[in-house]
């Protein structure tokens, strides 16, 4: 109000317009008169300088010159040239969010109710007078309405950028001056790239934010991150992110088929933010686990829908094939076999060289498997998921087999584990083979053997404490204690420098120095690891008969390695807003991408008929096929994929997932002012709050879209001009009076 009193017009008018001189008199006359007046004043004041010192003369001259300059400028009629929307010749669209988050309580009712009252009071009367007003309500879809009084906040999701694109397309044929979007900014169903297209329409979008930018006294289970598949009888770690408005106490509870399977007390930090907790879960037998994660509410918490999330975990019944090679009979071989043989998730195949010319095979499926020793073709080796190699030197393999082992990791995505031994690592000559490319360390080899018989205690690194491989107990302190109690290993093989991507999980304290004991890294599609000892059998022999730590460690290690290997046909699912994306990666048994496969995908909801999804090859991505479908809210789906070439099957896969979009409006319930500001800035509009809604019609009138007309707004009679003149003359008079020169 004060701004308009001083300058006649709102600030938006000056931002939209440009200053011009409306007088027809030549501008040269203005400069000539100003120059003459300046010189005359200077001459007069200098002739009277005996009354004042020169600096004071200059001050008076500057003030008098400013007054004359301002008066001359006013004679040339300074004006503001603006382009306004022509009255009654343009349309303005108002879109009001009716999704469920708009039903949340505000100071005087719901968000929607407060917004409707403000719009009816401060916006609609002015817009209806000047424009063809078009009203819309939206949630996941857009609907033209006659009155905003009929709206109710019941929509299951909103698609802010999506509906903006829809209404802009719908109104292409009319002179549209501006769009007004009234929303809390929830955008749960629009692809993010659609925001980039809004500016192309050339229509300013003014956004009006509703609701607080931060929720008070609220907990939100903002994310649950856990594996989508797990092996039977294994444990998984779920990382749970809790968004909170401040300190407090709550309990995270996890249910499977309504049975409580885990509970974890959580103390939230005083500062508001996102707090991450981890909880371990036993997945049990093969099947589908429908898990529900729930936070106990805070005292007085109103929004409870965002305290719960659901997730599906598949526990397939398949067995992973592991090939274990040993070049000599060793205690480690015997005890590792015992630890792994009882695991129903692993199919262990072993090859042991008993003498220079004899070997012993166990776990093979046929007489032909490994009959000629180590495989020498991709199809045979790539049938395994993990490869363990003990004390067997590189000279026992051909250079092509060295390359095959490297490709088993890099191309097939299998896992390789090398154990210490007299004929292993650097002592076995593996440092000069193609296999060394995949290994996490640059192997050492010198005059002295790197494999030595020495006792050493073991300890977990920070990475090991976080890894499920080394998790002997769910409690971190108890887990560290269980590792510290393990008997010392009886041998150790020193490694060279670790590579940049290597991660050390377990260390050995050798002669007082910490040395890497279990270290791994990713290589290509797979991973390679080194266990720099061959005496973990001591953990089993020197502990009580009922102690299962040795067995638990080996099962978790080999399960982790084997289960990471991809199948020839991989099926991946991901949701993006209202869309469920399907990706099928197809490879041969030798894991070579297939670009001419026939891929068939069938989606079956828990309640309803199955439907086949159209799939097409992903451009520029060999062997990948993509498709999508629109799922129903809160529905469980089974997705089956199979691929073939010329009638020959390349494999099949099944995945399950749950689509929970119906609850999305309960999450991120605070006003997303960032999105609303972004939309406005990209399109030439502005962001507004409900208490400033009365200023919006004036800003809309200066839109460059639609039908406009030119208008000159005079500035000579602004109160600020006369106040400036008065200030200049008063300042001069006061200074001269003080200096005695009046």
Residue 664 has pLDDT above 70, yes or no: no
What does pLDDT average to over the chain?
89
**Shared-domain flag, residues 122 and 51:** no
**Shared-domain flag, residues 687 and 722:** no
**Shared-domain flag, residues 402 and 337:** yes
**Shared-domain flag, residues 331 and 382:** yes
**Shared-domain flag, residues 478 and 336:** yes
Taking the C-alpha atoms of residue 303 and residue 665, their distance in angstroms, rounded to an integer, is 11
Neighbours of 497 (CB within 10 A): 10
523-549 burial: b if 16+ Cβ within 10 Å, else e: bbebbbbbbbbbbbbbbbeeeeeeeeb
**Shared-domain flag, residues 109 and 195:** yes
Among 276, 291, 317, the domain boundary falls at: 317
Residue 346, C-beta contacts closer than 8 angstroms, at least 6 positions apart? 319, 320, 322, 340, 555, 558, 559, 562
Taking the C-alpha atoms of residue 486 and residue 282, their distance in angstroms, rounded to an integer, is 24
Structure tokens at 339: 């630890």
CATH number of the domain at 577, please: 2.60.40.10
More confident residue, 521 or 714: 521
Residue 308 has pLDDT above 60, yes or no: yes
Q: Across residues 8-26, what is the average pLDDT?
A: 81
**Shared-domain flag, residues 435 and 453:** yes
Q: Return the pLDDT at 484.
A: 94
Strand partners, 348: 322
**Shared-domain flag, residues 545 and 417:** yes
For residue 391, name the pLDDT band (cuts at 50, 70, 90): very high
Residue 487, C-beta contacts closer than 8 angstroms, at least 6 positions apart? 538, 539, 542, 543
In terms of DSSP H, where are the helices of 343-442?
378-381, 399-410
Closest Cα partner for 157 from 97, 209, 222, 224?
97
Q: Across residues 461-480, what is the average pLDDT?
A: 91
More confident residue, 6 or 297: 297
Q: Across residues 238-266, what is the average pLDDT?
A: 90
23-62 burial: b if 16+ Cβ within 10 Å, else e: eeeeeeebeeeeeebeeebeeebeeeeeebeeebbebbbe
**Shared-domain flag, residues 20 and 100:** no
**Shared-domain flag, residues 448 and 556:** yes
> Which residues span the domain enclosing 580?
569-664
**pLDDT tens digits, one per residue of 606-624:** 888 999 999 999 987 889 9
**Shared-domain flag, residues 499 and 415:** yes
CATH number of the domain at 387, please: 3.40.50.880
The string of DSSP codes covering 294-318 is: EEPPPTT----GGGEEEEEEEE---
Q: Across residues 314-341, what is the average pLDDT?
A: 93
Residue 661 has pLDDT above 60, yes or no: no
Q: Across residues 258-272, what is the average pLDDT?
A: 90
The total domain count for the chain is: 5
Decide: 370 and 325 in contact? Cβ < 8 Å.
Answer: no
CATH number of the domain at 159, please: 3.40.50.410
Structure tokens at 525: 């599609």
Q: Return the pLDDT at 648.
A: 92
**pLDDT tens digits, one per residue of 670-691:** 888 888 999 999 898 999 999 9
For residue 318, name the pLDDT band (cuts at 50, 70, 90): confident
Q: Return the pLDDT at 158.
A: 75
The string of DSSP codes covering 571-607 is: EEEEEETTEEEEEEEEB-TT--B-SS-EEEEEEEESS
Query: What is the percent of the chain with per-residue pLDDT over 90, rounded to a whole number?
Result: 52
Residue 94 has pLDDT above 60, yes or no: yes
Q: Return the pLDDT at 742.
A: 60
């Amino acid at each position: 109000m004060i701004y308009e009193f001083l300058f006649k017009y709102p600030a938006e008018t000056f931002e939209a317009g440009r200053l011009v001189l409306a007088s027809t008199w030549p501008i040269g006359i203005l400069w000539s008169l100003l120059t003459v007046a300046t010189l005359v004043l200077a001459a007069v004041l200098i002739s009277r300088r005996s009354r004042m010192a020169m600096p004071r003369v200059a001050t008076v001259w500057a003030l008098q010159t400013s007054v004359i300059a301002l008066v001359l400028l006013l004679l040339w009629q300074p004006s503001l040239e603006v382009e306004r929307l022509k009255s009654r010749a343009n349309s303005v669209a108002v879109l009001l969010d009716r999704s469920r988050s708009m039903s949340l309580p505000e100071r005087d009712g719901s968000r929607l109710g407060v917004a409707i009252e403000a719009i009816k009071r401060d916006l609609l009367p002015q817009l209806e007078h000047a424009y063809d007003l078009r009203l819309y309500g939206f949630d996941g879809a857009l609907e033209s309405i006659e009155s905003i009084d009929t709206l109710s906040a019941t929509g299951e999701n909103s698609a802010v950028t999506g509906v903006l694109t829809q209404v802009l397309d719908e109104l292409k044929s009319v002179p549209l001056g501006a769009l007004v979007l009234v929303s809390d900014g929830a955008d749960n169903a629009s692809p993010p790239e659609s925001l980039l297209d809004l500016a192309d329409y050339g229509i300013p979008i003014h956004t009006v934010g509703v609701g607080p930018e931060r929720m008070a006294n609220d907990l939100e289970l903002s994310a649950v991150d856990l594996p989508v598949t797990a092996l039977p009888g294994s444990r998984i770690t779920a990382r749970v992110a809790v968004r909170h408005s401040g300190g407090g106490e709550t309990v995270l509870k996890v249910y499977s088929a309504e049975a409580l399977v885990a509970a974890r007390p959580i103390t939230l930090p005083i500062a508001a933010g996102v707090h991450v907790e981890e909880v371990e879960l036993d997945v049990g037998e093969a099947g589908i686990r429908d898990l529900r994660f729930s936070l106990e509410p805070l005292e007085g918490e109103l929004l409870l829908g965002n305290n719960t999330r659901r997730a599906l975990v598949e526990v397939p019944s398949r067995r992973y094939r592991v090939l274990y090679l040993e070049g000599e009979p060793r205690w480690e071989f015997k005890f590792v076999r015992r630890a792994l043989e009882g695991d129903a998730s692993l199919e262990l195949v072993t090859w042991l060289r008993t003498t220079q010319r004899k070997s012993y095979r166990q776990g093979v499926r046929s007489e032909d498997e490994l009959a000629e020793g180590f495989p020498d073709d991709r199809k045979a080796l790539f049938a395994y998921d993990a490869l363990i190699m003990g004390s067997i030197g590189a000279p026992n393999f051909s250079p092509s087999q060295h390359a095959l082992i490297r490709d088993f990791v890099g191309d097939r995505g299998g896992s390789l584990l090398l154990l210490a031994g007299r004929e292993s690592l650097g002592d076995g000559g593996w440092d000069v083979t193609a296999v060394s490319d995949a290994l996490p360390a640059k192997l050492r080899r010198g005059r002295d053997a790197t494999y030595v018989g020495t006792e050493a205690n073991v300890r977990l690194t920070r990475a090991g404490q976080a890894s499920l491989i080394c998790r002997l107990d769910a409690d971190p302190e108890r887990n560290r204690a269980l590792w510290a109690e393990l008997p010392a290993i009886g041998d150790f093989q020193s490694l060279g420098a670790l590579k940049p991507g290597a991660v050390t999980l377990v260390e050995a304290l050798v002669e007082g120095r910490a040395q890497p004991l279990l270290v791994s890294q990713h290589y290509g599609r797979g991973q390679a690891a080194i266990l720099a000892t061959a005496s973990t059998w001591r953990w089993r022999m020197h502990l009580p008969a009922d102690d299962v730590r040795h067995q638990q460690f080996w099962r978790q290690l080999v399960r982790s390695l084997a289960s990471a290997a991809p199948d020839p046909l991989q099926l991946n699912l991901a949701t993006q807003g209202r869309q469920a994306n399907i990706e099928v990666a197809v490879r041969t048994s030798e894991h070579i991408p297939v670009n001419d496969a026939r891929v068939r995908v069938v989606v079956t909801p828990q309640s309803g008929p199955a439907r086949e999804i159209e799939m097409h090859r992903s451009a520029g991505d060999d062997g990948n096929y993509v498709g999508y479908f629109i799922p129903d809210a809160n529905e469980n789906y089974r997705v089956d994929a199979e691929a073939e070439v010329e009638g020959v099957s390349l494999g099949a896969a099944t995945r399950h997932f749950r689509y929970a979009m119906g609850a999305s409006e309960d999450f991120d319930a605070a006003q997303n002012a960032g999105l609303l500001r972004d939309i406005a800035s990209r399109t030439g509009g502005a962001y507004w709050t409900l208490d400033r809604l009365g200023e919006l019609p004036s800003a809309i009138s200066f839109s460059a879209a639609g039908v406009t007309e030119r208008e000159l707004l005079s500035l000579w009679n602004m109160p600020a001009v006369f106040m400036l003149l008065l200030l200049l003359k008063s300042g001069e008079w006061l200074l001269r009076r003080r200096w005695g020169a009046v």
